[in-house]
Chains A and B, each alone.
Chain A
Amino acid sequence: MTAKPMTAKQWSAEAVETLLAAQGIALAPGRAERLARAYQAMLEASAADPLLARLEFEATPTGFLLAMQKCR
């Protein structure tokens, strides 16, 4: 069976409210919808980097420290 890639879903105000409430964070009134739009834009912009598609399986956050020394 071939797995079908997921299509990105839009964040909803309800989802944001639920997720924050689960962490004990109360949203200021009227914020959930704006936040949902902002998340969507930010994560889409971040995911647009073509480098992501070539990110090696072995890559870890600590690799950045090695790169800083290598790129001096």
Chain B
Amino acid sequence: MSEKAVELKGIYKAYKTGFTMKKVNALNGVDLVINKGEVFGYLGPNGSGKTTTLKLIMGIIYPDSGEIEVMSKSPYDISVKEKIGFLPESPYFYDYLTAVEFLDFYARLFSIPRGVRNERIRRLLKSVGLEERADEPLRRFSRGMLQRIGIAQALINDPEIVFLDEPMSGLDPLGRAEVKEIIQGLKREGKTIVFSSHILPDVEAIADRVGIIVEGKIRDVGNLDRMLDDRVSFVEVTVYGLDHDLLKSLKGKVEVKRTLGDRTVLLIDGAENINEVIDYLRSLKISIESVEPIRVTLEELFLSEIKGKTK
């Protein structure tokens, strides 16, 4: 059993909004375990509760009920904060500071000795590709550069767990690739990484496990391959010389995806039908060009979770 990095048990959180102070539920009983050493992708549409969850783990807000543990301790414990790093969503930093001053400020909050501090700041600026801009004030930084200095800030204490809220949003493809590379580098160093996102290909590329949150409730958590494998729901079969009468006899078992000349692409739904249909086609000497299992993409899975149609 892997060690737990973060555990949330039955977390409820509501915000009071507007003039009438109407309560809006942000989290409705969230249970979540994040293991040490994994890259955990936290997925959900806007307003689903991703940021609220991260803010609760950081101790920025307090839960209405439920329990939170970070490395088996309370998230409000100062010793926990020594070992974590956090990049908030759309960070807006002290823009009157230069990149070096900015990182030095955070490093001092960890009481990191001067020698280590200077060395680490230099190394981090290099790893996020900002060494050339070290002495420029942050107010001159672009969105992507701010995101990168934000990541450097989250890593200033060489943390064991790094929490990144939407680290790739608002970045161009190059910027996203750079952030992905940084996350993969952190993984190689054995760090636990928790990041939220709604950019699915990015999650697919780097997360070991994924949690899907919709309307303040966790809909699914698990290994991404497992989640997608579970849903290999149909097979695409391409055949030659299939006529209309034959198709009729297969009604209910296959669906015609498209026809290209005498080539027909069929979709076979349900594992139990696959062998039966193929045997039938072969018995009629129908030539099969290819058989391809179609996996649900994360995007489809995500959309179906949002619509509440799965399971």
**Same complex origin of A and B:** no
Q: Which residues of A contact B (CB under 8 A)?
A: none
